[in-house]
Amino acid sequence: MSTVQLPSIFRAIQEIFPGTPLRMGFSTREQASFMAAADLRKGVGYKANTEAFVRALVETQAKEAGNSRPLYVGEEVIQTPGGPQTMKVIYKRGVFHLLMLSRLPKAVEFRDQIFDLLEEVEREGFVINASAPVEQLKAMKPRIERDIDELLEARLQEKKDYRSIVRAVKEAGGYDRDFADVQNIIYLGLFGMTAKTVRDRQPQVSGERYKRDYQGKKAGELRPSRSAKDYLTEEQLKTLDNGVLFITSKLALRHPDGLMTLDDIKSAAMEVGAELLISRARLTEPANVVELSSPLDLRTRIEALRTKLQKGAA
């Protein structure tokens, strides 16, 4: 952990441009800080007019409009010696975007400060802003403790999550098709459906949500997801966690050094998936129990299992 003096981002920018007063404000409509575009243009030393200065940001904003991203550029009322005027402004995200991409010397100076901070975070774990208000520092202690507890819980959850299997597949030289094999074996064993069938048959219940109204969709509504996990009920997610933990435990016992092949991973997934499928079949349709004892090579066994289980899921 490290303690450093961190001024607000806009104050840091003002310190880089001491000779150019920067008019700043906060938009209650957009819930974002902003800076007068003309002032930032003068500060970085851009010679052309303000419209040219923000053109790339405007184009980027238009391209990313479908992603419900925060605005980069807009218009706000700013107090001037002559009274309030509507002026072109750059919101905080737009300021970051512009200064991180610009090759002008002042922008490079800003980037160096950001990179120094990132290296500090990477080296120390996190950074405490020593210039923060006392009340903020007091509130920070329980929040840090809570965040650490959540991170430790997340590490435990990762052992039960697909990320550990995805990483294992990649480290063993696998590709998307290999992970799809493992995923479908698990889903078929646990739920009697492939991941695609889960998406087709069940309503989406979780995932990313729209941040603002867009093309008939309301802010807060779920964005369509291609992840099968976003279509699982809470009970199914618990079952999935336990199934994945079963597989990762098998792999950890068999390969304590963490070195395993794709066949090792698929074999463990297939064993668990087949065991769960057979257990469920014995309870529902004893006459149709599938015994996987033929001495076929692993790929053939996986394809045979997928075909057999998909017929049952249809």
Q: pLDDT tens across 258-280, in order?
A: 788 878 887 888 787 777 767 76
* Domain residue limits, the chain: 2-132, 159-313
Q: pLDDT tens across 200-241, in order?
A: 999 999 888 887 777 778 888 888 888 888 899 988 888 888
d(CA 252, CA 247) in angstroms, rounded, equals 9
Q: pLDDT tens across 91-140, in order?
A: 988 888 888 888 888 888 888 888 887 887 777 776 676 667 778 778 87
User: For residue 6, is pLDDT > 70?
Assistant: no
Structure tokens at 100: 């991180």
Low-confidence winner among 64-68, 102-106, 245-249 (lowest mean pLDDT): 64-68
Provide the whole-model pTM.
Answer: 0.44
